[in-house]
């Protein structure tokens, strides 16, 4: 039995060498500091001073996240269709990640149910590893006229201090489950990533 989790990478930050940025993504193209993905119809500027994440690092994080979610769910996680889009970072705690995956809707509300299940599974994966985490309710936010579902996590260290914050945006677009997560531990880096993401443009 398989369970489809389209937002796999949003767990992986807890667990870059310089090359051509276009070799570090599965889909899309980076021109100077601008990323564009034709399938999603998405364009975004990469903030100055941030580095495109090396694909080997993305693959390593994906593997760790997959193992954690599989252990928590008790099911095999199907990531055969998962594509890495734009991923960039400043350090291990301040990371922007995005993915897409083909999602064939079989009944009304299926994608929304899957998204809510992903949120719940990530939360329990933290709990099972003794990591204290708080989560927010799912709400809707509009970016360039497109409605995204948004929820977040706050992760604490053993002393009860905030270690990391995560913001997770997702929506179904052009037949793909498209997700963006922003990981941060300070307001300045959060602002840079959020400013860039919220100024994204989408082909209508």
List pLDDT tens digits, range 85-94.
Answer: 999 999 889 9
Task: Give the H or E element holding residue 137.
Answer: none
Residue 21 in tokens: 């940025």
The per-residue pLDDT for range 18-63, each reduced to its tens digit, is 445 565 666 789 998 999 999 999 999 999 999 888 766 666 666 6
Residue 133 in tokens: 């985490």
The per-residue pLDDT for range 147-203, each reduced to its tens digit, is 999 999 999 988 999 999 999 999 999 999 999 999 999 999 999 999 999 999 999
- CB neighbour list of residue 192: distance below 8 Å, 6 or more residues apart: 47, 49, 50
Domain enclosing residue 84, as ranges: 2-202
User: What CATH number has the domain bearing residue 118?
Assistant: 3.40.1000.10
Question: Is the pTM for the entire model greater than 0.75?
Answer: yes
Residue 78 in tokens: 């199907």
The phi and psi torsions of 165 (rounded to 5 degrees) equal -120, 145
Domain count, the chain: 1
């Amino acid at each position: 039995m398989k369970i489809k989790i389209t937002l796999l990478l949003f767990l992986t930050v807890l667990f870059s060498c310089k090359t051509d940025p276009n070799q570090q993504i599965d889909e899309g193209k980076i021109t100077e500091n601008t990323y564009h993905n034709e399938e999603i119809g998405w364009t975004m500027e990469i903030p100055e001073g941030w580095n495109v994440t090396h694909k080997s690092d993305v693959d390593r994080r994906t593997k760790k996240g997959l193992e954690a979610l599989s252990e928590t769910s008790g099911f095999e996680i199907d990531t055969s269709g998962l594509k890495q889009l734009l991923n960039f970072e400043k350090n291990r705690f301040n990371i922007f990640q995005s993915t897409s995956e083909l999602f064939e809707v079989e009944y009304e509300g299926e994608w929304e149910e899957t998204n809510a299940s992903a949120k719940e599974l990530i939360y329990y994966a933290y709990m099972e590893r003794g990591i204290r985490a708080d989560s927010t309710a799912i709400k809707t936010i509009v970016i360039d006229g497109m409605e995204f579902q948004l929820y977040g996590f706050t992760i604490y260290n053993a002393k009860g201090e905030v270690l990391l914050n995560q913001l997770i945006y997702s929506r179904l677009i052009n037949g793909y489950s498209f997700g963006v997560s922003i990981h941060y531990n300070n307001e300045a880096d959060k602002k840079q990533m959020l400013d860039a993401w919220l100024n994204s443009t989408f082909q209508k």
